[in-house]
Amino acid sequence: MSQKYRRYPLKAKEAKQALTLASDKLKFNLEVTFGSKVLVETVEADFGELLLINGKPVLFKIGEAVLPTLLAAEIVAKLPKIVVDMGAVKFVCNGADVMAPGIRRYEGTFSKGDIVVIVDEKHGKPLALGEVFYSSQEAANIKKGPVIKTKHYVSDKVWVAAKSLLE
């Protein structure tokens, strides 16, 4: 990373609280994915905090929200997918909300407010994470307007900071 960030381990109680917050938002237990004995570190950054699990940037925290990074493949693979057409890719990768006309299909079920992963139709690569405005049943009938509020995307500050920790 070009800037110096403060990195330190979290106390067990703080680590458990962060994992619980993320688990509640994602609707699956992260302790099952990573185990109960994990080293959780935090890296303070200008956007908030990156949370590392066993040295890997898995979660980020902005305010009270704790969400996964796009680099957390074991989490991203479990999320419902929204497949967008190739015309929407450049907009999504610049942080735009996902609009109904750009959505090709929905994979998995979700409720209003759930976190979903947005992938491109050609390669199926994760482009962004977002919070849906509708349930999966409602979203299937939406033909115009925003469907997903983008929370994290390829090339944002979280992505850049997380990638630099892997170098």
Tens digit of pLDDT for each residue in 46-85? 889 999 999 999 999 988 889 999 999 999 999 999 999 9
| 109-162 tens-digit pLDDT | 999 999 999 999 999 999 999 999 999 999 999 999 999 999 999 999 999 999
Q: Which CATH number fits domain 6-74: 3.10.450.120, 3.40.50.720, 3.30.365.10, 1.20.1440.230?
A: 3.10.450.120
Sheet (strand 65-68) strand order = 6-9, 40-44, 49-53, 56-62, 65-68
Q: Do strands 126-132 and 115-120 pair parallel, antiparallel, or not at all (unpaired)?
A: antiparallel
d(CA 98, CA 111) in angstroms, rounded, equals 16
Residue 2 scores a pLDDT above 90: no
**Which of the 8 DSSP states describes residue 101?**
G
Q: Which superfamily does 76-153 belong to?
A: PUA domain (2.30.130.10)
Provide the Cα torsion 105, 109, 112, 114; round to 10°. Answer: -100
Residue 54: partners with Cβ closer than 8 Å, 6 or more residues away: 34, 38, 39
In our burial notation (b when 16+ CB lie closer than 10 A, e otherwise), range 27-43 reads eeebeebbeeebebbbb
Burial of 144 per CB tally in 10 Å (0-12, 13-18, 19+):
exposed
Q: Which residues pair with 149 in a beta bridge?
A: 131
- Model's pTM, two decimal places? 0.91
Instruction: Give the position of tokens 């979203």.
Output: 139
What pLDDT score was predicted for residue 139? 95
Phi, psi of 135 (to 5 degrees): -75, 170
For the chain, domain boundaries? 6-74, 76-153
Task: Give the chain's radius of gyration (CA, Å).
Answer: 16
Q: Mind listing the pLDDT tens digit for each residue in 91-106?
A: 999 999 999 999 999 9
pLDDT of residue 142: 95
Instruction: State the pLDDT at residue 3.
Output: 60
Q: How many CB atoms lie within 10 A of CB 85?
A: 13
